[in-house]
Amino acid sequence: MEKEAQKKLQHLYRKLKILKKTFLGYPCDAKFDYSPLYKFLEFPINNVGDPFEPSTYRLQTKDFEREVLKFFADLFHIKSYWGYVTNGGTEGNLYGLYLARELHPKATVFFSEHTHYSIKKNVHLLGMKSCMVKSQRNGEIDYTDFEDKVKMHREAIVVANIGTTMMGAIDNVRLLAKILERHHIRSYIHADAALYGMVLPFLPQNEQKEKLFDFRTKLNSIAVSGHKFAGSPIPCGIVIVRKHLAQKLQTYIEYIDAHDTTLSGSRDAFTPLIFWYRIKTIGLHGFKKQVAYCTELADFLVKELNKIGWPDVMQSSITVSFRRPSEKIIKKWELATQKDIAHVICLPHETKEQLHRFMEDLKKEMK
């Protein structure tokens, strides 16, 4: 049985190595090496309870988790904050909506039709009222439709997309806040920045100003994925909120001698090490170089698509969307699709050589 198991694992390994060569459509960076962390897998580490408090479970990595949170707090310009390392963007969005519901129990949740599917699912799980808003052609929320729908409400919870799933569109947080203020609506704004939360802060300064989404705006919480741009073999993320708001959800648990403030009880203590190691080995300068490289790849792909006349090409930073190709190409290059649109997310593990091969397949299809 042992030989059979080893054979099966080897088959899986070879299969994944091959698939990685044509992995273009999903926002998950595959360029990383965490081998220095493998030795920590021999311990049953668990970050149960609040990351800012010790507990009776001492095999944990909360001090590393706090360093990760400090990195993001600085990145998003907030001094008084609370947060934790999640298992991905969906949990971060769920926490943001959960906190918003506790602060505004009668409020309706507003989100656009291009919002990630986790929002609709989380709204359903939390039993909240919701209202879908139209999107513009580029995937950004339609501000006129938003104003028409929200002005009838006294309280509102708004989900701002900081990079929509398919087109990478960025909602204007300052404009959404102005609309809410204009109609004197009590509100909570959550940002789903799953991918672009690790991209926009590293763009040139003039582009950052156009797409400002951090805590210098009226945002109350931000969710980011770790496996998407930072890169991780295990799905992970962070959620950051204004500290005075998070205190609403504190409950002391005698069993662990700590407050239970997160959504899960037992929490992954290995992914904070992954986040921490990535931040320490790459740093701000390294992330900036990665974003510049990925933007260059995206510019190159747009140029090549336009050169052959492929329809409906649009670019938002590192996301390039275009008319959906054949199922054969979708399957080979693992493209994400929605209706008649497909996209490529340009990430650090990709190369121009890969994109050249992808373009050759599209050229054959054009003929």
Single-letter code of the amino acid located at 66: R
The angle subtended at Cα 249 by Cα 77 and Cα 224, nearest 5°, is 40
Which one of 55, 232, 317, 321 is the catalytic residue?
Answer: 317
User: Quick one: which H or E segment has residue 16?
Assistant: helix 2-20
Sign of the alpha-carbon torsion through 133, 138, 144, 147: positive
What count of other Cβ atoms lies within 10 Å of the Cβ of residue 340? Answer: 9
d(CA 29, CA 231): 5
Contact 139, 320 (CB under 8 A): no
Active site (annotated) includes residue 135: no
Residue 231 is classified by DSSP as I
Residues near 46 by Cβ (< 8 Å), separated by ≥ 6? 57, 59, 60, 266, 267, 269
Written as six digits, the tokens of 179 are: 């609309």
Active site residues: 317
